[in-house]
Amino acid sequence: MLFRSDIEGVSNQGYRLISAPDLLLPAEIAPYLPVGFEGDIFWSATLASTNERAKELADKGMPTGSLAIAETQTGGHGRRGRSWQSPPGGIWFSIILRPDIALMLASRVSILAAVILAEAINTETGLRATIKWPNDILIEGKKVCGILIELSAQLEEVNYIIVGIGINANIKIEELSPEVREAAVTLTALLGKDINRQRLLGRIASRFVNEFPLIFDDNYPDYLNRRRQLSAVLGHSVTIEDGGRRFTGKAIDIMQNGALKIELSDGTERVFESGDVSLRLHI
């Protein structure tokens, strides 16, 4: 396992630990990673985007489980190119996955990612995180975590998948812009205290490495059912905008490929792929 950061020792003098800052440094995360973890960890104080950094690393051959971590992002973004504010205190990282699968199975990664994030946040905090389709993580109806999945494929085979994760962790709510505060929340604001960021990141990365192979075998139905159980939208009225058209109905199921099935007001059913659609939840 390779650790890289912008912290360097003095030649022939080694290192001396004066304090343990709240940084997502490789050595602070390593204790929470599984034995035999083979990924490389790349830490930066600031990056434009951890996903862009992870893609550069993947193109250079970095193995499954490799992490690109930043304390802040200057150009973080989510689905449909939406900007993502990434101040200090959050958890901003991307993980490289290299499955030997057909392209048609890649959508299962979205199911896995959403389940891992919601369950890990719930375990770490004792809060109740749910999943707004396709893969935003909500607590008390507000967004606490976003997931951006990108892949490289050739013909019908996947070269690698990048899962970018942004968690509003140890951030004071006033550090977010007023427009973001309306729809977002932070773990610090909910708990009234900071969490152990290193432990949460390490445990999430561990789960990806350990559980990633399981979604391509007989275990997948279990993850899909857990995704349904954690859903913030199933059983509720939603409005979906797709290609300039608007549809309102009741969300009734998450399909095998992660698509959302809704029942329209006229009783007909329609299935929506995540793609470029947007969803508004009515509660």
CATH topology of domain 3-229: BirA Bifunctional Protein; domain 2 (3.30.930)
Token reading at 61 = 């051959």
Residue boundaries of the structural domains of the chain: 3-229, 237-282
pTM, 2 dp: 0.89
Which pLDDT value is given to residue 177? 84
Which pLDDT value is given to residue 6? 44
Contact 97, 105 (CB under 8 A): no
Burial label, 13 (beta-carbon count in 10 A; 0-12, 13-18, 19+): exposed
Which pLDDT value is given to residue 7? 43
Q: What would the pLDDT profile of 50-83 be if each residue is shown by its tens digit?
A: 999 999 999 999 999 999 999 999 976 555 556 5
Residue ranges of E strands in the chain:
3-4, 41-47, 67-73, 91-97, 129-132, 136-139, 142-154, 157-167, 237-242, 245-254, 260-264, 269-272, 278-282
The three-class DSSP label of residue 58 is helix
pLDDT: which is higher, 181 or 47: 47
In CATH, what class is 237-282?
mainly beta
Among 14-18, 123-127, 208-212, 257-261, the minimum mean pLDDT is found in 14-18
